[in-house]
Structure 1
Amino acid sequence: MKAILAIVFAAGLVGVMSTPVQEVKYVYKPNQCEPSDPLIVPPGIFNLTLHPLFNLAEDSNHQGLVVAGVSGLVADVSIIIITLTLNFEITVPSIDADATTIDVSGYIDTRPFTALPVGNYTGTTTGTTTGIARVRNLRVQGSATLFVNIIGNRVSVRVLNVNVFTFDEICLNLGADFQIGGAPVDWADLCANFKGRFDAEWGNNQLKNQLVEKIRVTANVIVGRYTLDELIDLIGGGGPTTEPCLAA
């Protein structure tokens, strides 16, 4: 059996090495596509599971969710096929979000970082004069080593490196009725001190490595849905300069 798997793997490797395209690249620049900005999200139920970092329960819902600044987002992603190395850089100059009402529950777990409260969360939020979320000059840059399971050809992230994670401001204000870990959150304190606390913990390599590992496990929830061919098609699939316009 091992000999058969070795032959299959060798044949696949030869096929990859013989392909003329050694790198596929995807650059998402919605400002080139003239998307709706602000983005008006249709009201209704929404949920998201990114275990172990974050969960938005299935009974969560919103009314009047509006996100401004999406036209400035740029995601630059490439895969070097021969080494199965993925490089990425994401920049977000400015994002502002608000909603008429958000009624949500779930959990958030960014431990060992303490800049953000962790635990189960629940609450109903109404729009505020400051908005419910604000991001300024976010930049994330790094690389990942991928692994392809021979059985099923599914992709996973074996090693994740995040070299840069910087921002000028990340601020949340989900209201007085919103609780995380069974306690209300001092949103003013969080907004005023989040950057300083995050930067200090990110500068601690032990804490940073533990958080990056948790992000790697979370990334596999998304990446694991794709085969290598599907991931290449998603990223571009057409060569080193493909820049598709994906905005609706």
Structure 2
Amino acid sequence: MRLTNRTVLIVGGTSGIGLELAHRFAKDGNTVVVGGRKPEPQDGLQSVRIDVTDPTSVLRARDEVLAAHPDLDVVVTMSGVLLTEDLRDPAHITDAENMVATNLLGTIRVIDVFTPHLIGRSAGTIITVSSGIAFLPFPLMATYGATKAAVHSYTESLRAHLAGTGVEVAELVPPAVATPAMAKLNPAAVSVDDYLDEVMELLAVEPTTREIIAEAALPLRWAERDGTYAELLERRSAPLKTLPGR
């Protein structure tokens, strides 16, 4: 995709990977708006307050962004909550509901409110964010993985629905990236800078690649095809032993 002279909205872009991605887009000469529940001023970036679990907030943010940027042509939806769970404890349902509301329904809400605008332009790009976990579970993060698998499936369907409209659909498939939360869970997580170096290179490919898969996520994406699924799943189940009573 073209990476210059775009107007980019990154929902979930006020911290972590999203914020660093926003700075990369801005550095390349794009107008960038980041959205989050508690946006703070950032050099070179504009911001909008948005809670993807609240339909009213999402609509208000859409109206604010389009009023200021009627040329908006890239929407990245990456708001996410990652929580570990003990599926033997029914109390995990509260965390599960939180992740479904944010990671899956939040993604759908953001796409829904901006799709008519992009179709009206007959051009634009929607970028969703799934995960390597979408293709090979990490059982300690059961619902998180399930939401990311759902985002992948939804993205595939969205692409089919938007065929012929001029709106392209791409999916980021990150590996474990060393954000503060993930670094504690996975010492082998890829550094944020290394990951984004790879992402920007992959995004620049023309025509736009359907799945933007970092190298570290490839073994997860293709585990079933490569016959390594069962072995990797067993290895990734080992952290369950750290849960109380195991």
TM more than 0.5: no
Higher normalized strand content (fraction of residues): 1
Higher-Rg structure is 1
Greater RCO structure (CA 8 Å; 6+ sep): 1
Compute the TM-score of the two structures, normalised by the length of structure 2.
Answer: 0.26
TM-score by length of 1: 0.25
